[in-house]
Amino acid sequence: IMSLQIEQIRSKEEILEMYLTVVPEGSNVYSITSGADFYFDKEVDELTLAELTVLASLPQNPSLLSPTKSIDPERGARLLQERRDYVFAQLERNLDYINRKSEELGNPVNLTQEMIDEARGEVLSYQNPDFDILAPHFVTYAEKLLQERGYNNGEPFDITELQTGGYKIYTTLDMTAQQIAEEQVKLGVDQYGRRYGGYNAALVALEPKTGEIIAMAGSYDYFGEPFPENCISGLTCKYEPSVNVLDTLQSYGSTMKSHVYYMAIMDGLISPGSQLLDIPIRLGSYAPKNYEGGFVGASSARRMLSSSRNIPAIYLIDQIGVDRFVAEMKKWGYTTFTNPNGYGPAISIGGADVKLIEHAQGYSVFANGGTVTQHEVIAKIVDRDGNVIYEHKPELERVADERGIFLINDILNGNRGGPPGRSFDGRDLAGKTGTSEDQKENLFATYTPELVVVGWIGNNNNDP
């Protein structure tokens, strides 16, 4: 009905002109003029016939067919070519009409078959899109969760619906915290990492009571250049800018010892004052050693954890049982412990991999006194009609005994003689460091009742 009403007051040429000012061209670009500028850095009247066929093709499915930012680049490129072939065929079929009509309108195009053939063979060059996106690793992670979790009235979003549905999506990001995270990640590599062969770093910060992630820097610089130059992605690159390290599998080093000691306390194996032995041991063919190679003999559990001795942690996990430990950690939110029979006691000192986002959620159990809620990046979603279809309402679940958690927090509290460097301005700040085998990665997990921060420094290809 609306189209009939428009046709009564507008000519077809006027309607077409109106359409060309709002037509979607992909990548949040609207209008033929904006499309010409975005993809080719040209005015419309400067475009070649081949370039015009691209802009004429995109409105059919802008998010898929976009030649520079397609949601499925390989399939999108194939379908874009098919659509352009269709446009060329229509030009050939209507060649006489196009020339006659354009002359009637006083703007003859004088289109010929030769021009169409030349356009078919023209090799197109697209302008690299300018990214003005803030917190790109956070944004891409949010897009991922939107397609995995039931934000859309209990169902995941389809990517096309997400991009074209007119939704307003409010996130948990705190830009002040994000800027600090990005600065500290770069500072860590520039002032410390490169000196020891580490070219990448990452950091995530979340509020433990809500699970809301307020900062996420997934690499040294999302917009940087891979290192070394001409490295092979996924194989030889020490630094891959767009890879979100926080959402990939990484060794946690010694940062899981706090979890092991908690279970040992709850099993009645130790108290903070219990004496543990740091001496050479052998479990079958496995002969673990400490980071620096020596042994300190007998000392308290408090000292063994705060000074991060390996042998006591391995002894304790052997008493607890790897399968029981894995089952407990799943309750805390770890999803990557999928092979409990394949880990062995080294799981207590970094002999498995986790996603560091989940590791931050796991440390929120200590920050919360034994409760946890799923980590979150989406605060609210409003549809185009103004209806709130999702709003984050955290639900804390008790997964650990507050008494055992209290004792671990006391051991790791910098103001109570915990690991050095874990105190700040007299506040209750607890934490644990970790180094993976052969110093391939270094981690830290620091927390207060209000904030959990997990940081990582190393190389994408796991070079030490």
For residues 115 and 181, membership in a common domain is answered with no
- Identify the domain containing residue 87 by its residue range: 15-121
110 — alpha (psi -120 to 50), left (phi > 0) or beta?
A: left
For residues 353 and 228, membership in a common domain is answered with yes
CB 142 within 8 A of CB 71: no
| 132-149: pLDDT as tens digits | 678 999 999 999 999 999
**Within-domain flag for 150:** no
Residues of the chain with pLDDT under 70: 1-19, 22, 27-28, 129-132, 415-427, 438
List, in sequence order, every residue forming a beta bridge with 454; answer none if it has no partner.
204, 445
**Within-domain flag for 415:** yes
Determine the Cα–Cα distance for residues 213 and 394; give it in Å rounded to an integer: 12
Phi, psi of 192 (to 5 degrees): -130, -50
CB 141 within 8 A of CB 243: no
**Within-domain flag for 357:** yes
For residues 114 and 226, membership in a common domain is answered with no
- How many helices (H) and strands (E) the chain has is answered by 17, 16
For residues 19 and 93, membership in a common domain is answered with yes
Structural domain count of the chain: 2
CB 184 within 8 A of CB 190: no
376 — alpha (psi -120 to 50), left (phi > 0) or beta?
A: beta
Among residues 273, 272, 331, 306, the alpha carbon closest in space to that of 433 is found at 306
Among residues 303, 309, 272, 279, the alpha carbon closest in space to that of 407 is found at 272
CB 68 within 8 A of CB 128: yes
| pTM to 2 decimal places | 0.74
For residues 84 and 207, membership in a common domain is answered with no
For residues 221 and 353, membership in a common domain is answered with yes
CATH number of 49's domain = 1.10.3810.10
Q: What's the pLDDT score for residue 63?
A: 79
**Within-domain flag for 192:** yes
Q: Which amino acid is at 135?
A: A
List, in sequence order, every residue forming a beta bridge with 376; answer none if it has no partner.
212
For residues 444 and 352, membership in a common domain is answered with yes
With b for 16 or more beta-carbon neighbours within 10 A and e for fewer, the 274-292 pattern comes to: eebbbeebeeeeeebebee
Picking from 57, 87, 121, the residue at the C-terminal end of a domain is 121
Task: Give the three-class secondary structure for 169.
Answer: strand
CB 200 within 8 A of CB 219: yes
CATH number of 194's domain = 3.40.710.10
| 436-464: pLDDT as tens digits | 776 778 999 999 999 999 999 999 998 87
**Within-domain flag for 248:** yes
Token pair, residue 87, equals 């446009």
For residues 46 and 195, membership in a common domain is answered with no
For residues 87 and 230, membership in a common domain is answered with no
Max Cα-Cα span within the chain: 98
CB 348 within 8 A of CB 260: yes
Q: What's the pLDDT score for residue 120?
A: 94
Q: Are strands 397-398 and 371-372 parallel, antiparallel or unpaired?
A: antiparallel
For residues 97 and 20, membership in a common domain is answered with yes
Q: What's the pLDDT score for residue 10?
A: 58
Q: What's the pLDDT score for residue 157?
A: 93
Helix (H), strand (E) at residue 443: strand 441-447
Picking from 105, 121, 137, the residue at the C-terminal end of a domain is 121
Token pair, residue 52, equals 């015009």
**Within-domain flag for 19:** yes
CB 233 within 8 A of CB 240: yes
Q: What's the pLDDT score for residue 286?
A: 83
List, in sequence order, every residue forming a beta bridge with 445; answer none if it has no partner.
432, 454
Q: What's the pLDDT score for residue 417?
A: 53
For residues 112 and 196, membership in a common domain is answered with no
Token pair, residue 73, equals 């680049």
Picking from 100, 121, 142, the residue at the C-terminal end of a domain is 121
For residues 201 and 70, membership in a common domain is answered with no
**Within-domain flag for 353:** yes
With b for 16 or more beta-carbon neighbours within 10 A and e for fewer, the 339-361 pattern comes to: ebeebbbbbbbbbbebbbbbbbb
**Within-domain flag for 213:** yes
